[in-house]
Structure 1
């Protein structure tokens, strides 16, 4: 059910993602039309994925059990003491014998995919800087984070805007700045990322773009898509080593292959 909640969180960005091509600087009406079309296809696929998940037997069994349980005992007092988030991460941590230094510096008791404490932003960025000394990383007023690095024939620049609410919790929006169609595609794929409120996860995802121009899509196996764009998305994959430890790898995907 936490994974279902994550999908719902992603769906909240649909309207923002659909309007993004009209807010970005476009070099021609054709490029604007293409960007909007690709965005619409991506968001439609996301809705279809959620619909399949919601109608799956696994989710329906959970909902049926919850309904029957509530009818048998409508007292939800005990449920209030159970965390709504973090169960996916708990499962991962059970397979991970030792936390990495970077995770310890993130300033979180766990990586529950809820809103991030504003106080953890600076420690998270500092840990990321230590891990990637060749990146140009700036943080302004604790609210605007800029990450830039070189790839073949390009400099990729990412701007993360941190919005902090009255409870000192932060949410994050990110843009790959520039006028190239690839940059717009990357921005859309970042907007549809899993775990949208996890800053450390977002920074790791950004770092995975260092192989832009050389990475092939893991789904179609091609370097360029039908629009001659490199894979604009990065998605994490957990693999287990021979010693039982868990390794996170980042897979490149074309926007249309998500």
Structure 2
């Protein structure tokens, strides 16, 4: 999201205006696409009067069918009323779009360019020569693909580093335990060489079993699987199953530090409100079981701590 600048207007505070990078190709194409869409809507609105509003009368004026011409005045009035309301709604929608905060910097930039060119039209042909919506879609897809490739490469580098790191998964558990998070405890397996242990969430009353699987000829754990441990004779609750489903769908399945931080985010699940609606339960009396990782800042050392936001399923 672009940074925002707050502007003071004659003693009162104006709305925040986004700072726009007009050197960005995506920004320029996006702005042109918005202007192009506005012109398309203008041509549509030109059909509103008289053709659009008087459309209910068209069958009477063009048809030789007596049944069409015999429409009652109340029927005609109802049809005209609906057409007028739809036309007015389209006009109001267009005005809202034209005056929206999103388009304000575009209009300011257009006016600046016109002033710089001494009033000459920015597009001298007077017509659109390209479909900027299609160009924008291509640029967006290309940018998104490049970003996904970058993130994938970064993750592969992190994964390779984690698998070959000294101490491996044991050192990750040790660093996590040293943080001494309230209500979160590690229970180690009797077999210290086996990548298997439990995480208890005392306040939430839950226990999760973690087991690592290895790849052939790989020194580290390639994937961590999570299971829910319940008392004998008791079935998992809906809440426990929902949390387990969320844990199973997580990214970075190789990253034990990520998994431990994600599990610990449920330690206070009965007190943690949804990051979007700010409520603890939704209309279906559900707790916010979904977790979305916050953008991580560059760690100052080799230890990276992940933070998560909580959401209700219907808030995403």
TM superposition score normalised by structure 1: 0.51
Deviation at 1:174, TM superposition (A): 1.3
Given the alignment, which residue of 289, 307, 310 partners 1:232?
289
Quick one: distance in 2 between partners of 1:136 and 1:213? 18
How is 1:65-144 mapped onto 2 (pairs within 5 angstroms)? 85-87=152-154, 111-112=158-159, 116-117=163-164, 120-132=168-180, 135-140=184-189, 141=191, 142-144=194-196
User: What is residue 155 of structure 1 aligned with on the other side?
Assistant: 205
For structure 1, the residue ranges without an aligned partner over 5 or more in a row are: 1-54, 65-82, 90-109
For residue 193 of structure 1, the aligned residue among 250, 253, 270 is: 250
Is contact 1:86–1:112 with CA below 8 Å preserved after alignment? no
Other structure's SS at 1:111 match: helix
- Quick one: distance in 2 between partners of 1:136 and 1:190? 18
Q: Could you give the per-residue CA deviations for residues 109-155 of structure 1, whole angstroms, max 9, x where no partner exists?
A: x634898459511111111111126533123242222000222xx41
Structure ID, larger Rg: 2
Aligned to 1:250: 308
- TM-score, length basis structure 2: 0.43
> Shift in Å at residue 185 of structure 1?
0.2
Match of 2:87 in 1: none
The alignment covers a number of residue pairs equal to 160
Alpha-carbon offset, residue 195 of structure 1: 1.8
Deviations 1:27-75 (A, max 9, x none): xxxxxxxxxxxxxxxxxxxxxxxxxxxx8744446879xxxxxxxxxxx
* Counterpart-to-counterpart distance in 1, 2:284 and 2:210: 27
How many angstroms apart in 2 are the aligned matches of 1:164 and 1:61? 35
**Change in CA separation of 1:144 and 1:220 when aligned onto 2, cut-off 3 Å:** same
Write 1 or 2 for the structure with the bigger share of strand: 1
Aligned partner of residue 124 in structure 1, secondary structure: helix
Partners of 2:145 and 2:310 lie apart in 1 by 35
Shift of 1:239: 6.9
Could you tell me how far apart the structure 1 residues matched to 2:287 and 2:197 are? Answer: 25
Partner in structure 1 of residue 197 of structure 2: 145
- 8 A Cα contact 1:233 1:254, kept in partner: yes
The within-5 A match list for 1:156-171 is 156-168=206-218, 169-171=221-223
1:217 alignment partner, SS class: coil
When residues 173 and 195 of structure 1 are mapped into structure 2, their CA distance, relative to the original with a 3 A threshold, is: same
Q: 1: CA distance between counterparts of 2:291 and 2:163?
A: 22
* 3-state SS in 1 of match to 2:171: helix
